[in-house]
Amino acid sequence: MNKHIHILGICGTFMGGIAAIAKQSGYRVTGCDANVYPPMSTQLEAQGIELISGFGTEQLALNPDIYVIGNVVTRGNALMEEILNRNLPYVSGPQWLSDTLLRDKWVLGVAGTHGKTTTASMLAWILEHAGLNPGFLIGGVPQNFDISARITESPFFVIEADEYDTAFFDKRSKFVHYHPRTAILNNLEFDHADIFADLNAIETQFHHLVRTVPGNGLIVANGREESLNRVLKRGCWTPVERFGTDAGWNIDADNRVTLNGKLQGTLSWELLGEHNRMNALAALSAARHVGVPVALGLEALSQFKNVKRRMEVKGRVNGITVYDDFAHHPTAIATTVAGLRHKLDSGRILAVLEPRSNTMKLGIMKDALPGSLKDADLVFCYSGNLGWDAMGALAAMGEKAVVIDDLDALIEAITAAAKPGDHILVMSNGAFSGIHDKLLNKMDN
Protein backbone atom coordinates (compact mmCIF):
# COMPACT_ATOMS: atom_id res chain seq x y z
CA MET A 1 0.00 0.00 0.00
CA ASN A 2 1.34 3.44 -0.95
CA LYS A 3 1.50 5.27 2.38
CA HIS A 4 2.91 8.62 1.18
CA ILE A 5 1.37 10.45 -1.77
CA HIS A 6 2.52 13.79 -3.16
CA ILE A 7 -0.24 15.62 -5.07
CA LEU A 8 0.62 17.99 -7.93
CA GLY A 9 -2.13 20.61 -8.26
CA ILE A 10 -3.51 20.08 -4.77
CA CYS A 11 -5.46 23.33 -4.32
CA GLY A 12 -8.28 22.66 -6.75
CA THR A 13 -11.55 21.54 -5.16
CA PHE A 14 -11.32 18.01 -6.57
CA MET A 15 -7.66 17.32 -5.79
CA GLY A 16 -8.02 19.02 -2.41
CA GLY A 17 -10.90 16.64 -1.71
CA ILE A 18 -8.74 13.65 -2.63
CA ALA A 19 -6.05 14.98 -0.30
CA ALA A 20 -8.52 15.26 2.57
CA ILE A 21 -9.93 11.76 2.27
CA ALA A 22 -6.47 10.25 1.70
CA LYS A 23 -5.34 11.87 4.95
CA GLN A 24 -8.46 10.57 6.71
CA SER A 25 -7.59 7.09 5.39
CA GLY A 26 -4.17 7.12 7.02
CA TYR A 27 -1.91 8.28 4.19
CA ARG A 28 0.83 10.83 4.60
CA VAL A 29 -0.22 13.55 2.18
CA THR A 30 1.95 16.32 0.81
CA GLY A 31 1.19 18.52 -2.16
CA CYS A 32 2.06 21.51 -4.27
CA ASP A 33 0.36 24.04 -6.50
CA ALA A 34 1.17 27.22 -8.38
CA ASN A 35 -1.00 29.26 -6.03
CA VAL A 36 -1.25 28.00 -2.47
CA TYR A 37 -3.84 30.29 -0.90
CA PRO A 38 -6.99 30.24 1.26
CA PRO A 39 -9.55 28.87 1.62
CA MET A 40 -8.25 25.55 0.27
CA SER A 41 -4.75 25.99 1.73
CA THR A 42 -6.20 26.72 5.17
CA GLN A 43 -8.50 23.69 4.99
CA LEU A 44 -5.67 21.38 3.96
CA GLU A 45 -3.14 22.65 6.49
CA ALA A 46 -5.75 22.29 9.24
CA GLN A 47 -5.84 18.57 8.39
CA GLY A 48 -2.08 18.22 8.70
CA ILE A 49 -1.35 18.22 4.98
CA GLU A 50 2.02 19.74 4.05
CA LEU A 51 1.79 22.30 1.22
CA ILE A 52 4.54 23.62 -1.03
CA SER A 53 4.16 26.62 -3.32
CA GLY A 54 5.26 26.05 -6.91
CA PHE A 55 6.47 22.98 -8.82
CA GLY A 56 10.19 22.99 -8.00
CA THR A 57 12.20 19.82 -8.61
CA GLU A 58 13.54 19.94 -5.05
CA GLN A 59 10.24 18.28 -4.10
CA LEU A 60 11.62 15.00 -5.45
CA ALA A 61 13.54 14.78 -2.16
CA LEU A 62 10.22 14.00 -0.47
CA ASN A 63 10.49 10.58 -2.13
CA PRO A 64 6.78 9.68 -1.94
CA ASP A 65 5.50 6.23 -2.84
CA ILE A 66 3.58 7.75 -5.75
CA TYR A 67 2.89 11.15 -7.32
CA VAL A 68 -0.80 11.93 -7.87
CA ILE A 69 -1.25 14.29 -10.80
CA GLY A 70 -4.06 16.84 -11.13
CA ASN A 71 -5.30 17.90 -14.57
CA VAL A 72 -3.93 21.42 -14.04
CA VAL A 73 -0.46 19.92 -14.63
CA THR A 74 0.83 20.01 -18.22
CA ARG A 75 3.94 18.92 -20.09
CA GLY A 76 6.66 21.48 -19.48
CA ASN A 77 5.90 21.61 -15.76
CA ALA A 78 9.39 21.35 -14.20
CA LEU A 79 8.48 18.83 -11.51
CA MET A 80 6.42 16.68 -13.88
CA GLU A 81 9.22 16.64 -16.47
CA GLU A 82 11.66 15.34 -13.88
CA ILE A 83 9.18 12.69 -12.69
CA LEU A 84 8.97 11.50 -16.31
CA ASN A 85 12.75 11.68 -16.86
CA ARG A 86 13.42 9.56 -13.78
CA ASN A 87 10.58 7.12 -14.54
CA LEU A 88 9.07 7.70 -11.11
CA PRO A 89 5.61 6.26 -10.33
CA TYR A 90 2.69 8.60 -11.05
CA VAL A 91 -1.06 8.31 -11.50
CA SER A 92 -4.02 10.63 -12.11
CA GLY A 93 -6.22 11.73 -9.23
CA PRO A 94 -9.33 9.86 -10.44
CA GLN A 95 -7.36 6.65 -11.09
CA TRP A 96 -5.69 6.75 -7.65
CA LEU A 97 -9.03 7.41 -5.97
CA SER A 98 -10.68 4.53 -7.80
CA ASP A 99 -7.87 2.03 -7.20
CA THR A 100 -7.29 2.76 -3.53
CA LEU A 101 -10.35 4.22 -1.82
CA LEU A 102 -13.37 3.33 -3.97
CA ARG A 103 -12.59 -0.29 -4.80
CA ASP A 104 -14.86 -1.73 -2.09
CA LYS A 105 -17.48 1.03 -2.12
CA TRP A 106 -20.97 1.23 -3.60
CA VAL A 107 -20.28 4.36 -5.63
CA LEU A 108 -23.13 6.72 -6.49
CA GLY A 109 -21.90 8.95 -9.33
CA VAL A 110 -23.66 12.19 -10.30
CA ALA A 111 -22.95 13.26 -13.89
CA GLY A 112 -24.37 16.04 -16.06
CA THR A 113 -23.56 19.41 -17.59
CA HIS A 114 -25.42 21.24 -14.82
CA GLY A 115 -26.42 20.52 -11.25
CA LYS A 116 -23.76 17.93 -10.36
CA THR A 117 -22.68 19.65 -7.15
CA THR A 118 -26.21 20.41 -5.95
CA THR A 119 -27.57 16.96 -6.80
CA ALA A 120 -24.60 15.16 -5.23
CA SER A 121 -25.09 17.28 -2.10
CA MET A 122 -28.80 16.41 -1.99
CA LEU A 123 -28.03 12.72 -2.40
CA ALA A 124 -25.32 12.70 0.28
CA TRP A 125 -27.67 14.51 2.66
CA ILE A 126 -30.54 12.07 2.04
CA LEU A 127 -28.21 9.14 2.83
CA GLU A 128 -26.89 10.95 5.91
CA HIS A 129 -30.42 11.70 7.13
CA ALA A 130 -31.27 8.02 6.63
CA GLY A 131 -28.39 7.04 8.92
CA LEU A 132 -26.19 5.58 6.19
CA ASN A 133 -23.17 7.84 6.99
CA PRO A 134 -21.96 8.13 3.38
CA GLY A 135 -18.54 9.21 2.23
CA PHE A 136 -18.52 11.85 -0.49
CA LEU A 137 -16.37 13.99 -2.78
CA ILE A 138 -18.24 17.03 -4.07
CA GLY A 139 -17.00 20.04 -6.07
CA GLY A 140 -18.45 22.56 -3.64
CA VAL A 141 -19.29 22.87 0.03
CA PRO A 142 -22.67 21.36 0.98
CA GLN A 143 -23.91 23.49 3.84
CA ASN A 144 -25.48 20.48 5.58
CA PHE A 145 -21.93 19.18 6.07
CA ASP A 146 -19.62 22.24 5.75
CA ILE A 147 -16.92 20.09 4.11
CA SER A 148 -16.56 19.00 0.50
CA ALA A 149 -15.08 15.53 1.06
CA ARG A 150 -14.95 12.75 3.63
CA ILE A 151 -14.37 9.00 3.80
CA THR A 152 -16.34 6.83 6.22
CA GLU A 153 -16.77 3.16 7.14
CA SER A 154 -20.05 3.18 5.21
CA PRO A 155 -20.16 1.16 1.98
CA PHE A 156 -21.77 4.15 0.23
CA PHE A 157 -19.75 6.89 -1.47
CA VAL A 158 -21.31 9.80 -3.41
CA ILE A 159 -19.09 11.46 -6.00
CA GLU A 160 -19.55 14.34 -8.40
CA ALA A 161 -18.78 12.58 -11.68
CA ASP A 162 -17.19 15.19 -13.93
CA GLU A 163 -16.90 14.77 -17.71
CA TYR A 164 -13.79 16.96 -17.87
CA ASP A 165 -10.62 15.12 -18.89
CA THR A 166 -8.56 13.21 -16.34
CA ALA A 167 -4.96 14.36 -16.85
CA PHE A 168 -2.50 15.36 -19.58
CA PHE A 169 -1.70 11.66 -20.04
CA ASP A 170 -5.31 10.41 -19.84
CA LYS A 171 -7.85 12.24 -21.99
CA ARG A 172 -10.81 10.15 -20.90
CA SER A 173 -13.44 11.86 -18.76
CA LYS A 174 -12.83 11.62 -15.01
CA PHE A 175 -16.06 9.74 -14.49
CA VAL A 176 -15.00 6.60 -16.37
CA HIS A 177 -12.69 5.78 -13.46
CA TYR A 178 -15.32 5.66 -10.73
CA HIS A 179 -17.30 2.52 -11.72
CA PRO A 180 -20.57 3.66 -10.11
CA ARG A 181 -23.23 1.11 -9.25
CA THR A 182 -25.76 3.96 -9.15
CA ALA A 183 -25.28 6.59 -11.87
CA ILE A 184 -27.25 9.80 -12.27
CA LEU A 185 -27.24 11.32 -15.77
CA ASN A 186 -28.72 14.69 -14.92
CA ASN A 187 -28.58 16.46 -18.29
CA LEU A 188 -26.22 16.80 -21.23
CA GLU A 189 -25.40 19.91 -23.24
CA PHE A 190 -22.37 21.21 -25.07
CA ASP A 191 -19.73 22.62 -22.73
CA HIS A 192 -15.96 22.47 -22.16
CA ALA A 193 -15.22 23.69 -25.68
CA ASP A 194 -11.50 23.63 -24.82
CA ILE A 195 -11.48 19.81 -24.84
CA PHE A 196 -14.62 18.67 -26.71
CA ALA A 197 -15.15 19.39 -30.40
CA ASP A 198 -18.92 19.07 -30.29
CA LEU A 199 -21.87 17.59 -28.40
CA ASN A 200 -21.34 14.18 -29.99
CA ALA A 201 -17.86 13.99 -28.45
CA ILE A 202 -19.34 14.50 -24.97
CA GLU A 203 -22.11 11.98 -25.68
CA THR A 204 -19.39 9.44 -26.50
CA GLN A 205 -17.80 9.96 -23.08
CA PHE A 206 -21.20 9.50 -21.40
CA HIS A 207 -21.58 6.30 -23.45
CA HIS A 208 -18.25 5.11 -22.01
CA LEU A 209 -19.60 5.84 -18.51
CA VAL A 210 -22.79 3.86 -19.21
CA ARG A 211 -20.58 0.93 -20.29
CA THR A 212 -19.07 0.78 -16.79
CA VAL A 213 -22.34 0.57 -14.82
CA PRO A 214 -23.05 -3.06 -13.81
CA GLY A 215 -26.21 -4.99 -14.61
CA ASN A 216 -27.20 -5.02 -10.93
CA GLY A 217 -26.83 -1.24 -10.78
CA LEU A 218 -29.16 1.59 -11.77
CA ILE A 219 -28.98 4.47 -14.22
CA VAL A 220 -31.12 7.48 -13.25
CA ALA A 221 -31.59 9.56 -16.40
CA ASN A 222 -33.29 12.85 -17.23
CA GLY A 223 -36.19 11.78 -19.43
CA ARG A 224 -36.47 15.23 -21.02
CA GLU A 225 -33.01 15.21 -22.61
CA GLU A 226 -32.78 13.89 -26.16
CA SER A 227 -28.99 13.84 -25.84
CA LEU A 228 -29.24 11.32 -22.99
CA ASN A 229 -31.75 9.24 -24.95
CA ARG A 230 -29.17 9.07 -27.74
CA VAL A 231 -26.48 8.01 -25.27
CA LEU A 232 -28.62 5.19 -23.88
CA LYS A 233 -29.63 4.01 -27.36
CA ARG A 234 -25.93 3.44 -28.14
CA GLY A 235 -25.97 0.58 -25.65
CA CYS A 236 -27.17 0.08 -22.10
CA TRP A 237 -26.80 -3.02 -19.93
CA THR A 238 -28.35 -1.62 -16.74
CA PRO A 239 -31.92 -0.90 -15.56
CA VAL A 240 -32.90 2.74 -16.17
CA GLU A 241 -35.24 4.98 -14.17
CA ARG A 242 -36.15 8.24 -15.88
CA PHE A 243 -37.19 11.45 -14.18
CA GLY A 244 -39.07 14.47 -15.47
CA THR A 245 -41.59 12.24 -17.23
CA ASP A 246 -44.87 10.54 -16.27
CA ALA A 247 -43.30 7.20 -17.22
CA GLY A 248 -40.95 7.45 -14.26
CA TRP A 249 -40.35 10.10 -11.61
CA ASN A 250 -42.16 13.41 -11.94
CA ILE A 251 -43.19 16.45 -9.93
CA ASP A 252 -46.10 18.83 -10.46
CA ALA A 253 -46.56 22.56 -9.81
CA ASP A 254 -47.56 21.81 -6.19
CA ASN A 255 -44.35 19.80 -5.64
CA ARG A 256 -46.19 16.48 -5.48
CA VAL A 257 -43.81 13.70 -6.42
CA THR A 258 -45.03 10.72 -8.43
CA LEU A 259 -43.39 7.48 -9.59
CA ASN A 260 -45.03 5.84 -12.59
CA GLY A 261 -48.09 8.00 -11.91
CA LYS A 262 -48.41 6.99 -8.24
CA LEU A 263 -48.15 9.71 -5.59
CA GLN A 264 -45.08 9.30 -3.37
CA GLY A 265 -45.37 12.45 -1.25
CA THR A 266 -44.82 16.21 -1.41
CA LEU A 267 -41.54 18.09 -1.56
CA SER A 268 -41.47 20.96 0.94
CA TRP A 269 -38.43 23.24 0.70
CA GLU A 270 -37.14 26.74 -0.07
CA LEU A 271 -35.03 26.06 -3.18
CA LEU A 272 -35.86 27.88 -6.39
CA GLY A 273 -36.35 26.73 -9.94
CA GLU A 274 -37.42 23.78 -12.05
CA HIS A 275 -33.79 22.65 -12.31
CA ASN A 276 -33.65 22.04 -8.56
CA ARG A 277 -36.94 20.12 -8.65
CA MET A 278 -35.39 17.87 -11.30
CA ASN A 279 -32.23 17.53 -9.20
CA ALA A 280 -34.42 16.42 -6.29
CA LEU A 281 -36.12 13.70 -8.37
CA ALA A 282 -32.73 12.34 -9.43
CA ALA A 283 -31.49 12.26 -5.83
CA LEU A 284 -34.68 10.56 -4.58
CA SER A 285 -34.38 7.84 -7.24
CA ALA A 286 -30.70 7.17 -6.52
CA ALA A 287 -31.30 7.09 -2.75
CA ARG A 288 -34.19 4.65 -3.22
CA HIS A 289 -31.81 2.36 -5.10
CA VAL A 290 -29.69 1.95 -1.95
CA GLY A 291 -32.76 1.37 0.21
CA VAL A 292 -33.92 4.81 1.37
CA PRO A 293 -37.74 5.06 1.28
CA VAL A 294 -39.07 7.99 -0.74
CA ALA A 295 -40.85 9.44 2.32
CA LEU A 296 -37.55 9.56 4.20
CA GLY A 297 -35.84 11.15 1.19
CA LEU A 298 -38.51 13.86 1.03
CA GLU A 299 -38.11 14.47 4.75
CA ALA A 300 -34.36 14.92 4.26
CA LEU A 301 -34.84 17.36 1.38
CA SER A 302 -37.12 19.51 3.56
CA GLN A 303 -33.98 20.16 5.66
CA PHE A 304 -31.56 20.54 2.72
CA LYS A 305 -29.43 23.67 2.63
CA ASN A 306 -28.13 24.61 -0.78
CA VAL A 307 -24.48 24.55 -1.71
CA LYS A 308 -22.39 27.65 -1.14
CA ARG A 309 -22.30 29.88 -4.24
CA ARG A 310 -25.76 28.76 -5.36
CA MET A 311 -27.90 31.91 -5.02
CA GLU A 312 -26.02 32.67 -1.81
CA VAL A 313 -26.91 36.01 -0.21
CA LYS A 314 -23.63 37.83 0.45
CA GLY A 315 -25.18 40.83 2.15
CA ARG A 316 -27.73 43.62 2.15
CA VAL A 317 -27.02 47.37 2.19
CA ASN A 318 -29.54 50.20 1.93
CA GLY A 319 -32.28 47.82 0.80
CA ILE A 320 -30.08 46.32 -1.95
CA THR A 321 -29.32 42.56 -1.83
CA VAL A 322 -26.15 41.07 -3.34
CA TYR A 323 -26.13 37.40 -4.37
CA ASP A 324 -23.30 35.09 -5.44
CA ASP A 325 -23.95 32.28 -7.91
CA PHE A 326 -21.71 29.83 -9.76
CA ALA A 327 -23.73 30.05 -13.01
CA HIS A 328 -21.54 30.44 -16.11
CA HIS A 329 -23.12 28.36 -18.90
CA PRO A 330 -26.04 30.13 -20.66
CA THR A 331 -28.52 27.45 -19.57
CA ALA A 332 -27.45 27.82 -15.93
CA ILE A 333 -27.52 31.62 -16.22
CA ALA A 334 -31.08 31.50 -17.60
CA THR A 335 -32.37 29.17 -14.85
CA THR A 336 -30.64 31.20 -12.13
CA VAL A 337 -32.06 34.54 -13.27
CA ALA A 338 -35.50 33.00 -13.85
CA GLY A 339 -35.39 31.39 -10.39
CA LEU A 340 -34.64 34.70 -8.71
CA ARG A 341 -37.35 36.44 -10.76
CA HIS A 342 -39.88 33.83 -9.65
CA LYS A 343 -38.93 34.37 -6.01
CA LEU A 344 -39.24 38.15 -6.02
CA ASP A 345 -42.47 40.02 -5.40
CA SER A 346 -40.88 43.26 -6.55
CA GLY A 347 -37.54 44.88 -7.29
CA ARG A 348 -35.19 44.90 -10.26
CA ILE A 349 -32.58 42.25 -11.03
CA LEU A 350 -29.16 43.64 -11.89
CA ALA A 351 -27.27 40.71 -13.42
CA VAL A 352 -23.48 40.93 -13.19
CA LEU A 353 -21.63 38.42 -15.36
CA GLU A 354 -18.00 37.36 -15.62
CA PRO A 355 -17.58 35.04 -18.65
CA ARG A 356 -14.48 33.21 -17.38
CA SER A 357 -15.03 29.47 -18.01
CA ASN A 358 -12.92 28.07 -20.85
CA THR A 359 -16.02 27.67 -23.01
CA MET A 360 -17.15 31.25 -22.38
CA LYS A 361 -13.65 32.67 -22.94
CA LEU A 362 -13.61 31.01 -26.35
CA GLY A 363 -16.87 32.77 -27.23
CA ILE A 364 -18.60 29.51 -28.19
CA MET A 365 -21.76 30.42 -26.27
CA LYS A 366 -21.79 34.19 -26.77
CA ASP A 367 -24.81 34.21 -29.09
CA ALA A 368 -26.92 32.54 -26.38
CA LEU A 369 -26.16 35.20 -23.75
CA PRO A 370 -28.90 37.75 -24.61
CA GLY A 371 -31.60 35.08 -24.35
CA SER A 372 -30.20 33.69 -21.10
CA LEU A 373 -30.28 37.16 -19.51
CA LYS A 374 -33.73 38.23 -20.73
CA ASP A 375 -35.31 38.11 -17.26
CA ALA A 376 -32.81 40.64 -15.87
CA ASP A 377 -33.64 44.35 -15.80
CA LEU A 378 -30.03 45.46 -16.28
CA VAL A 379 -26.94 43.46 -17.30
CA PHE A 380 -23.35 44.33 -16.44
CA CYS A 381 -20.73 42.23 -18.20
CA TYR A 382 -17.05 42.24 -17.24
CA SER A 383 -15.04 41.94 -20.45
CA GLY A 384 -11.50 41.98 -19.02
CA ASN A 385 -9.28 39.35 -20.72
CA LEU A 386 -12.01 38.29 -23.14
CA GLY A 387 -11.00 37.34 -26.65
CA TRP A 388 -14.32 38.25 -28.24
CA ASP A 389 -16.61 41.26 -28.54
CA ALA A 390 -18.97 41.15 -25.54
CA MET A 391 -20.51 44.47 -26.54
CA GLY A 392 -21.43 43.06 -29.91
CA ALA A 393 -22.77 39.84 -28.40
CA LEU A 394 -25.09 41.76 -26.06
CA ALA A 395 -26.01 44.47 -28.57
CA ALA A 396 -29.50 42.99 -28.99
CA MET A 397 -30.24 43.97 -25.37
CA GLY A 398 -29.75 47.65 -26.17
CA GLU A 399 -29.38 49.96 -23.18
CA LYS A 400 -30.16 47.12 -20.76
CA ALA A 401 -26.59 45.84 -21.19
CA VAL A 402 -23.38 47.55 -20.06
CA VAL A 403 -19.97 46.06 -20.94
CA ILE A 404 -16.87 47.25 -19.05
CA ASP A 405 -13.33 45.85 -19.08
CA ASP A 406 -12.10 47.55 -15.88
CA LEU A 407 -13.24 46.09 -12.53
CA ASP A 408 -13.24 49.38 -10.62
CA ALA A 409 -15.24 51.08 -13.37
CA LEU A 410 -17.65 48.12 -13.38
CA ILE A 411 -18.22 48.44 -9.62
CA GLU A 412 -18.74 52.19 -10.03
CA ALA A 413 -21.35 51.64 -12.76
CA ILE A 414 -23.27 48.99 -10.78
CA THR A 415 -23.39 51.04 -7.58
CA ALA A 416 -24.46 54.13 -9.51
CA ALA A 417 -27.36 52.21 -11.07
CA ALA A 418 -28.48 50.32 -7.95
CA LYS A 419 -31.31 51.65 -5.82
CA PRO A 420 -33.26 50.39 -2.78
CA GLY A 421 -35.23 47.24 -3.54
CA ASP A 422 -32.79 46.04 -6.22
CA HIS A 423 -31.21 42.58 -6.34
CA ILE A 424 -27.64 42.37 -7.64
CA LEU A 425 -27.01 38.84 -8.95
CA VAL A 426 -23.29 38.15 -9.49
CA MET A 427 -22.55 35.12 -11.68
CA SER A 428 -19.09 33.63 -12.22
CA ASN A 429 -17.34 30.29 -11.81
CA GLY A 430 -14.43 32.09 -10.13
CA ALA A 431 -13.85 34.52 -7.27
CA PHE A 432 -14.51 37.54 -9.56
CA SER A 433 -11.85 39.49 -7.59
CA GLY A 434 -14.09 39.68 -4.53
CA ILE A 435 -16.58 41.92 -6.33
CA HIS A 436 -19.41 41.03 -3.92
CA ASP A 437 -17.75 42.55 -0.86
CA LYS A 438 -16.44 45.49 -2.89
CA LEU A 439 -19.98 46.28 -4.02
CA LEU A 440 -21.36 46.00 -0.48
CA ASN A 441 -18.58 48.22 0.94
CA LYS A 442 -18.99 50.86 -1.75
CA MET A 443 -22.76 51.02 -1.31
CA ASP A 444 -22.33 51.28 2.46
CA ASN A 445 -20.17 54.42 2.20
The pLDDT tens digits along the chain (445 residues) read: 559 999 999 988 889 999 999 999 999 999 999 977 666 778 788 888 999 999 999 999 999 999 999 989 999 999 999 999 999 999 999 999 999 999 999 999 999 877 788 899 999 999 999 999 999 999 877 778 878 899 999 999 999 988 878 999 998 989 999 999 999 999 777 555 555 556 778 889 899 999 999 999 999 999 998 889 999 999 999 999 999 999 899 999 889 999 999 999 999 987 767 888 999 999 999 999 999 999 999 999 999 887 666 678 888 888 899 988 877 677 778 878 887 887 777 789 999 988 876 666 566 677 788 888 888 999 998 887 777 778 888 888 888 888 888 889 999 999 999 999 999 999 887 778 788 888 988 887 7
At the second CATH level, the architecture of 4-91 is: 3-Layer(aba) Sandwich (3.40)
Neighbours of 297 (CB within 10 A): 28
70 vs 337: CA distance, rounded Å: 33
107 forms bridges with which residues in the sheet? 157
At the second CATH level, the architecture of 312-444 is: Alpha-Beta Complex (3.90)
Q: Give the pLDDT score at 188.
A: 78
CATH number of 102-301: 3.40.1190.10
Closest to 120 in 3D by CA, of 156, 166, 169, 172: 156
Residue 416 near residue 389 (C-beta atoms within 8 A): no
Q: How is the chain split into domains, by residue range?
A: 4-91, 102-301, 312-444
For the chain, report the end-to-end CA distance as a whole number of angstroms: 58
Residue 30 near residue 7 (C-beta atoms within 8 A): yes
Angle, alpha carbons 90-112-123 (nearest 5°): 90
Closest to 120 in 3D by CA, of 353, 283, 326: 283
Contacts of 317 (CB under 8 A, 6+ apart): 440, 443, 444
Instruction: State the Cα torsion 362-368-369-374 to the nearest 10°.
Output: 180
Neighbours of 405 (CB within 10 A): 14
Q: Give the pLDDT score at 392.
A: 82
Residue 232 near residue 221 (C-beta atoms within 8 A): yes
Instruction: State the Cα torsion 44-58-8-88 to the nearest 10°.
Output: -130
Q: Give the pLDDT score at 190.
A: 54
Q: Give the pLDDT score at 113.
A: 79
Closest to 350 in 3D by CA, of 400, 404, 403: 400
Model confidence, pTM: 0.74
Contacts of 199 (CB under 8 A, 6+ apart): 188, 189, 190, 227
Residue 262 near residue 92 (C-beta atoms within 8 A): no
Q: Give the pLDDT score at 32.
A: 95
Closest to 184 in 3D by CA, of 161, 203, 211, 151: 161
Contacts of 147 (CB under 8 A, 6+ apart): 20, 141
